[in-house]
Structure 1
Amino acid sequence: MKIVTLTLNPSLDKHTYTERLLPDKKLRCDEPVYEAGGGGINVSRAIKIMGGESLAIYVAGGPAGEQLEKLLREEGIEQYIIKIEQPTRENLTVIEKSTANQYRFGMPGSEVGEAALKECISVIEELPDEVEFLVASGSLPPGVAEDFYAQLAEIANRKGIKYIVDTSGKALEKTADKGVYLLKPNLGELSQLAGKEEISAIEQEAIAQEIISKGKAEILVVSLGPRGAMLATKDQVEYVVPPTIKQKSTVGAGDSMVAGLVLALSRGENLRDVVQRGVAAGTAATMTAGTELCRNEDVETILEWLNKTDEKGGGIDH
């Protein structure tokens, strides 16, 4: 197994539909759909959808944690569960049929104790040599120090594992200070890494390469939402711009992008193709409703469009 994902703050996600959201009324909803959620778990699920394999390491407890395990087992995803007593959180998304508006209710994560964190560190330290990529994705739950992902960076660097991090806030800053293989910030997080309130489109290329020159990451893939992504290394800056599509939901789009990136990296593809697959997967995820991730047929269709556009000189700007 070349790819391992880590999720410290997983969730049991459910989505449903109702005609219209109204206060003080009993709202009739459709039968809910349950899915495993949380940053790294979504990355593993999207990798599976695109024909890849990974090991999903995550923290879970209670009935929701058991259902999470069952759902991932049904999807054929290899998993290692770090058990806690506290129940795994449940999130709810309600889609209003009359307007297609989406309402997302995110619950706080369960506190993760010292024993579970020590087990997590131990598991990462003991990863076999065949593991090439470690993806830490998602927020840190209560009880976890802001430098936890940074601690894992030290382990990954020592073991020669390429560490990919998708998080925010202080956790992002502290991890970047240790130096990682790839970061996937959005523009707001790029500003944060640069120590600025905000940055303009004119500045973003120079700032990205400055962050790389400081050793915070070898590769930056900056998510630009519907405009795709910017790839930055010490030697290059390129843009991948996806086709215009009708968005149904942005849930899981960032995780799908990370899945596309790491899957292509694990296959030894060049960076241009890596970012194209990441953008294709992220864009495909916005084409599905509720909490559903990307569909492989959509990913392949967008990839084909990107390749054709690239051949004409319009898909990737150099």
Structure 2
Amino acid sequence: MGPRIVTLTLNPAVDVACDAEAVRPVHKVRTFAETHDPGGGGVNVARVIRELGGDVLAVVLTGGVTGRFLEELLEEGGVPCHVVPIAGRTRIAMTVHDRSARQEYRFVPEGPVASAAELEAALAALAAEPGGWLVASGSLPRGAPVDFYATVARLAAERGQHVVLDTSGPALQAALGHGLALIKPSLGEFEALVGRKLPDAAAQDAAAMAVVRSGGAARVAVSLGGGGALLATPEGLWRRPALDVPARSTVGAGDSFLAAMTLALARGSDPADALAWGIAAGAAAVMQTGTAHPRRADVESLYQRACNV
């Protein structure tokens, strides 16, 4: 099972996924094959870690009737959680698959405001839940200061935890140098972080290693979509290509990648092996419809492929 991993989701969502024959403006669009899943970056990571047999706890801010529904979904999925109640109502996000156009539409509300007292309660919850690794993932809620993840990282690092951060923009920039064990931006997010385009592998590799050498984060994983992913560490840099699998939905692929990589690192895997687990989980997630998490059997099978490409 390995060390316990705690995840933090400050702006979770109830994820609704459905199909439609065609999405057209003005017309009433009938949907079918509807599913409901607990969502938000840290929640998604926790679901995948549990599926892969890891010891995980999700710390999550929830509010209102939708927040209670989210808690029920986590309980149904067997994901242990520490709920931090908030006054606002948890958001509902929707993914609609247009069958005729073979397109996917994703509607993501901004979510509720979190008060200073509620954010302090989140910090207290993290301090009360021991774990060797902490994964903070997702957007900051309205009301949170831009350096809130920096505070989370600093306090967790002081407790001796390995801190993983998956966010973007100013929140990611502000957290650099505060004891981060791993960051996982997409290529676009990483280009925004370093302030320039990275048109080729050499530029991407150099930029990732520069963040590591400057002390911004001990490890930098950059997801490259169809190009796979890279992982920069003090020991060196590794790249692995994406796996060719039947794609149904890209929702949650990045979270699945991060979950499997973090679990592998927590269990003592070397960087190359951890990257292979991440690639496998991301590919397994793409094979699922809607917001369903990847299946363990698929991840384990694809891991063997990832090690040999």
- Give the TM-score range, shorter chain: over 0.9
Aligned to 1:52, the other structure's residue is in SS state: coil
- In the alignment, what sits opposite 1:176? 176
- The worse-fitting range, judged by mean Cα deviation, of 78-87 and 228-237 is 228-237
Tell me if the contact between 1:193 and 1:211 (Cα under 8 Å) persists in the aligned partners.
no
- The worse-fitting range, judged by mean Cα deviation, of 18-27 and 62-71 is 18-27
Aligned to 1:244, the other structure's residue is in SS state: coil
Task: Output the CA distance in 2 between the equivalents of 1:161 and 1:188.
Answer: 28
Tell me if the contact between 1:41 and 1:56 (Cα under 8 Å) persists in the aligned partners.
yes
- Once the two structures are superposed, residues 134-153 of structure 1 have per-residue CA deviations (whole angstroms, 9 ceiling, x without a partner) of 00000001000110000011
Offset, 1:121: 1.2
Task: Output the CA distance in 2 between the equivalents of 1:306 and 1:93.
Answer: 29
Offset, 1:295: 1.8
Question: TM-score with structure 2 length normalisation?
Answer: 0.95
Tell me if the contact between 2:132 and 2:162 (Cα under 8 Å) persists in the aligned partners.
yes
- In the alignment, what sits opposite 2:38? 36
Percent identity, please. Answer: 39
- Once the two structures are superposed, residues 69-100 of structure 1 have per-residue CA deviations (whole angstroms, 9 ceiling, x without a partner) of 01111111110000012110001111112232
Tell me if the contact between 1:44 and 1:53 (Cα under 8 Å) persists in the aligned partners.
no
Task: Output the CA distance in 2 between the equivalents of 1:3 and 1:47.
Answer: 8
Aligned to 1:67, the other structure's residue is in SS state: helix
Mind listing any 5+ residue stretches in structure 1 that lack a counterpart?
Answer: 310-314
Task: Output the CA distance in 2 between the equivalents of 1:289 and 1:242.
Answer: 19
Tell me if the contact between 2:63 and 2:86 (Cα under 8 Å) persists in the aligned partners.
yes
Task: Output the CA distance in 2 between the equivalents of 1:273 and 1:146.
Answer: 34
- In the alignment, what sits opposite 2:301? 301
Aligned to 1:15, the other structure's residue is in SS state: strand
- In the alignment, what sits opposite 2:69? 67
Question: Structure 1's 238 and 31: CA in aligned 2 closer, same or farther, altered over 3 A?
Answer: closer
- In the alignment, what sits opposite 2:80? 78
- Once the two structures are superposed, residues 187-214 of structure 1 have per-residue CA deviations (whole angstroms, 9 ceiling, x without a partner) of 22222332x2312222111111111111
- In the alignment, what sits opposite 2:269? 269
Question: TM-score with structure 1 length normalisation?
Answer: 0.93
Aligned to 1:41, the other structure's residue is in SS state: helix
Offset, 1:31: 4.8
Whichever residue aligns with residue 141 of structure 2, its letter is P
Task: Output the CA distance in 2 between the equivalents of 1:30 and 1:169.
Answer: 35
Task: Output the CA distance in 1 between the equivalents of 2:120 and 2:292.
Answer: 32
- In the alignment, what sits opposite 2:110? 108
Spell out the pairing of 1:134-283 with structure 2 (5 A cutoff).
134-194=134-194, 196-201=195-200, 202-283=202-283
Mind listing any 5+ residue stretches in structure 2 that lack a counterpart?
Answer: none
- In the alignment, what sits opposite 2:59? 57
- In the alignment, what sits opposite 1:87? 89
Whichever residue aligns with residue 76 of structure 2, its letter is E
Aligned to 1:178, the other structure's residue is in SS state: coil
Aligned to 2:257, the other structure's residue is in SS state: helix
Tell me if the contact between 2:84 and 2:125 (Cα under 8 Å) persists in the aligned partners.
no
Aligned to 2:177, the other structure's residue is in SS state: helix
Task: Output the CA distance in 2 between the equivalents of 1:60 and 1:186.
Answer: 27
- The worse-fitting range, judged by mean Cα deviation, of 166-175 and 14-23 is 14-23
Whichever residue aligns with residue 48 of structure 1, its letter is R
Whichever residue aligns with residue 104 of structure 1, its letter is R
Aligned to 1:218, the other structure's residue is in SS state: coil
